[in-house]
């Protein structure tokens, strides 16, 4: 079958591959319909590595996908042939301590699409455990289904924030994950969300949602603006989604006493922390790594009309132009949130 293969850094091919994937009792075979391009895909394309995960041999890219079930195992009950489903890309090891504790996203042996050496799903068909496939409700498209993966991160951020209805929030970073975090905390009950970035185009997209206020930190001081907007109190919740070390340690000045900071953005290296400040102000820190049990919630919110994802699909490419799609996504257009590939 045809697949988009990262042969080596900055070298993509769209070629036939032969994968021996059989459908087990609890598996389904899916004809992939749509696949989004994630920032991690771009990192592997441009740099060949993310932390300890290093590209050492050709790898099929893609982990944000939706498609139609074309074959299923005898024990599968949750989906049927012909169903449009979206797929959670990380499969944990059965009965690990993390899985038993309900935090399967932390399983050190998780198998995650398009993370070396695991092949991704930017191909014609893929076999996947049915337990990690979710039926896309009627009225939603395959493209929207493919957006559930990044939205799941925003939902996980909102879960870790333990929002009290009416809370105010600051999301640092207006990229894809930052905007998904904005949507997650709004759906979770925040009354007002500030979002900061240096790119006006992305801020305009984020601010197109109700109850969202954009702050361009290229032209104004973030702490001064937040304190002015909150009568000197600070916001109840901060989500760091930029992955930039430059936002530290100032971001903690924007949190109210007893507030929470959720760390979503990942970065290389270390950042300074004023531990005394955190202790004196009672600021709690919650890290986020991927998500657990978030896909069904994401689908429910979008299906109910609580979250609109359509406006975030910036450009769509056909499968035979997948290489051009990656080149476009990697070029860093400031007005682009999500580049999507129609596989079928």
DSSP 277-336: HHHHHT-EEEE--S-SS-HHHHHHHHHTTS---GGGEEEEEEGGGHHHHHHHHHTT-TT-
HSE-CB of 276 using CA atoms within 13 angstroms: 0
pLDDT at 10: 97
**C-alpha–C-alpha distance, residues 239 and 157, integer Å:** 7
Task: Tell me how far apart the alpha carbons of residues 128 and 109 are, in angstroms, rounded to a whole number.
Answer: 17
Q: What is the pLDDT of residue 234?
A: 98
DSSP at 123? B
- The DSSP element (H or E) to which 257 belongs, if any, is strand 255-263
**pLDDT of amino acid 247:** 94
Per-residue confidence (pLDDT) for residue 207, from 0 to 100: 97
Residue 56 CA: distances (Å) to CA of 6, 43, 49, 53: 10, 14, 9, 9
Q: Could you give the CA distance from residue 201 to residue 214 in angstroms, rounded to a whole number?
A: 11
What is the reported pLDDT for 272?
Answer: 86
Delineate the domains of the chain, giving CATH numbers in brackets: 2-147+309-342 (3.90.180.10), 154-287 (3.40.50.720)
- Residue 263, both tokens: 């760390």
Residue 120 is predicted with a pLDDT of 98
In whole angstroms, how far apart are CA 127 and each of 22, 23, 25, 120?
Answer: 7, 6, 12, 11
pLDDT at 233: 97
pLDDT in tens, the chain (344 residues): 999 999 999 999 999 999 999 999 999 999 999 999 999 999 999 999 988 899 999 999 999 999 999 999 999 999 999 999 999 999 998 899 999 999 999 999 999 999 999 999 999 999 999 999 999 999 999 999 999 999 999 999 999 999 999 999 999 999 999 999 999 999 999 999 999 999 999 999 999 999 999 999 999 999 999 999 999 999 999 999 999 999 999 999 999 999 999 999 988 778 888 999 999 999 999 999 999 999 999 999 999 999 999 999 999 999 999 999 999 999 999 999 999 999 99
Tokens 């493209």 belong to 143
**148-161 helix and 176-187 helix, angle to the nearest 10 degrees:** 50
CA–CA distance, 300 with 303 (Å, rounded to integer):
5
Residues in the chain: 344
Q: What are phi and psi of 54, to 5 degrees?
A: -120, 135
pLDDT at residue 94 in the model:
84
27-36 vs 338-342, strand pairing mode: antiparallel
């Amino acid at each position: 079958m045809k697949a988009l293969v990262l042969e080596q850094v900055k070298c993509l091919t769209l070629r036939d591959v032969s994968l021996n994937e059989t459908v087990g009792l609890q598996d389904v075979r899916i004809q992939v319909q749509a696949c989004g391009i994630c920032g991690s895909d771009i990192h592997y394309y441009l740099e060949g590595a993310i932390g300890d995960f290093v590209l050492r041999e050709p790898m099929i890219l893609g982990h944000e996908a939706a498609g139609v079930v074309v074959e299923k195992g005898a024990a599968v009950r949750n989906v049927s042939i012909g169903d449009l489903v979206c797929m959670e890309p990380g499969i944990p090891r059965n009965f690990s301590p993390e899985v038993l504790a309900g935090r399967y996203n932390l399983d050190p042996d998780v198998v995650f699409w398009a993370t070396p050496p695991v092949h991704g799903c930017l191909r014609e068909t893929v076999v996947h455990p049915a337990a990690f496939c979710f039926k896309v409700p009627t009225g939603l498209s395959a493209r929207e289904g493919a957006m559930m993966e990044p939205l799941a991160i925003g939902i996980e951020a909102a879960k870790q924030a333990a929002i009290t209805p009416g809370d105010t929030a600051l999301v640092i970073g207006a990229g894809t994950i930052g905007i998904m975090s904005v949507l997650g905390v709004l759906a979770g009950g925040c009354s007002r969300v500030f979002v900061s970035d240096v790119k006006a185009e992305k801020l305009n997209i984020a601010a197109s949602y109700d109850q969202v206020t954009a702050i361009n930190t290229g032209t104004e001081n973030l702490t001064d603006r937040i304190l002015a907007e909150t009568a000197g109190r600070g916001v109840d919740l901060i989500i760091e989604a930029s992955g930039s070390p430059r936002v530290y340690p100032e971001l903690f000045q924007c949190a109210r006493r007893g507030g929470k900071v959720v760390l979503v953005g990942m970065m290389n290296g270390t950042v300074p922390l004023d531990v005394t400040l955190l202790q004196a102000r009672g600021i709690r820190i919650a890290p986020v790594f991927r998500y657990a049990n978030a896909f069904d919630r994401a689908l429910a919110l979008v299906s109910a009309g609580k979250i609109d994802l359509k406006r975030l699909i910036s450009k769509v490419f056909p499968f035979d132009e997948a290489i051009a799609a990656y080149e476009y996504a990697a070029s860093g257009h400031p007005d682009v949130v999500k580049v999507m590939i129609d596989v079928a």
